[in-house]
Amino acid sequence: MDDPLAKLKNGTLKLYDLEKEMPPDEAVRVRRAYVEGETGADLAALGTYSIGIDRVVKRNIENMIGAVQVPVGVAGPLAVKGEYARGTYWLPLATTEGALVASANRGCSAITKAGGADVRIIKDGMTRAPVFAARDIVHAREIADWAVANTAKLAAAAELTTSRGKLLSITPYIVGTNVFLRCAYDTKDAMGMNMVTIATAEIANLVEAVTGARFIALSGNMCTDKKPAAINMIEGRGRSVVAGVHLSNDLIETVLKTDARTLAEVNYRKNLIGSVRAGALGSNAHAANIIAALYLACGQDIAHVVEGSSCITTIEATDDGGAYVAVTLPAVQVGTVGAGTVIDTQAACLSLLGVAGGGEPEGANAKAFAEIVAAGVLAGELSLLGALAAHHLARAHKELGRG
């Protein structure tokens, strides 16, 4: 073809059309060169990557100019005693924050020496909540009642769009003439946002056609996706997971360099009282750190760290002088198929955990991954709370180069 850079400059070729004119790698190189010429920036470093991009440019990103590389470290081994994840795992953590992997590693050591973390999924359902306008509040109630009474009919319509997703429930919420229908789905091994969005569109169209409701938007923010929300804390979104471990006082002193009483007091005064006083959604030390690092490494939608980090950490004294430490994560939104999970480097990290691809039975791999995430968060909480209790936090960050 004629000089693509010249055609980009004169407007006869669009940046997003390059893949239609040439192979993906060449399209990325030309686009990067064009942006370099327009901005004066040196983007050569973005051009070095190991991932195959044929699928990436079609399904994962638009206007690709290269890739940003994030260092990946491992923490472990971490012993997990879940219903789906059972065994020892090395956690792949993608981060640029010095001290994070070392901290998680210490928490993994404490949990594994204690015999492993118990983990259970207590609820599972990905949500999408369209909003409708009613004529008045009487009509609003009629819309909500019809949707609940006809859940089976709406499920049949939704499930025509997917071979795997299943509608679990519809919960209506009314605000004046606004009707929100919070639809929850079993999405098997997929995180499922695309799946439930497409399925819920069918529900919304049917509700509008039958009830006379005016369909306003496919997401009415009652889902709630990628925003802090009390409804996710209470009702859950994705996988709701709890993880806990019993630590003897001797183990706490040996690994965490503090004692059970001090560990519990730090959690109470920092995570519980401090979080309440701050008006925080969640009461934890740094759940977002571990979740973000695992999500980045394993091809998850990183924006879901918002809901995932709404974690509650609890520590209770035990009769033997030790402590029972637990984390409750109401909204762990993860998948092991589709989206970013199939990119080469991310797929490798899921393979490291033994959860890449679809599970047997369907959904088992995503559930196992959710359990591993919860156990990893527990490890991170233990280590940071121990460092705070022992007054070692600043020293550790200084030694490990955190800026």
How far is it, in rounded angstroms, from Cα 153 to Cα 166?
13
Q: Could you say which of 159, 265, 301, 316 is catalytic?
A: 301
Residue 54: DSSP 8-state: T
Burial group, residue 320, by CB count within 10 angstroms (0-12, 13-18, 19+): exposed
Locate 47 and state its tokens. Answer: 């051009």
Q: Any catalytic annotation for residue 97? A: yes
Which residue's structure tokens are 């490990």? Answer: 400
How far is it, in rounded angstroms, from Cα 178 to Cα 132?
6
Which residue's structure tokens are 């002088």? Answer: 321
Q: Could you say which of 139, 246, 392, 397 is catalytic?
A: 397
Locate 203 and state its tokens. Answer: 């529900």
How far is it, in rounded angstroms, from Cα 251 to Cα 260?
9
Which residue's structure tokens are 């569109």? Answer: 201
Q: Tell me the C-alpha to C-alpha distance, in Å, between residue 393 and each of 258, 267, 386, 396.
A: 13, 15, 9, 5
Which residue's structure tokens are 């991954």? Answer: 369
How far is it, in rounded angstroms, from Cα 283 to Cα 314?
9
Those residues whose C-beta lies under 8 Å from the C-beta of residue 285, and which sit 6 or more positions away, are 267, 270, 271, 313, 380, 381, 384, 385, 388
Q: Tell me the C-alpha to C-alpha distance, in Å, between residue 295 and each of 93, 198, 228, 299, 350.
A: 8, 24, 18, 6, 10
Q: Any catalytic annotation for residue 397? A: yes
CB 365 within 8 A of CB 339: no
Q: Tell me the C-alpha to C-alpha distance, in Å, between residue 262 and each of 175, 183, 300, 331.
A: 46, 43, 36, 29
Locate 315 and state its tokens. Answer: 């520590």
Q: Could you say which of 97, 189, 235, 381 is catalytic?
A: 97
Annotated catalytic residues are 97, 301, 397
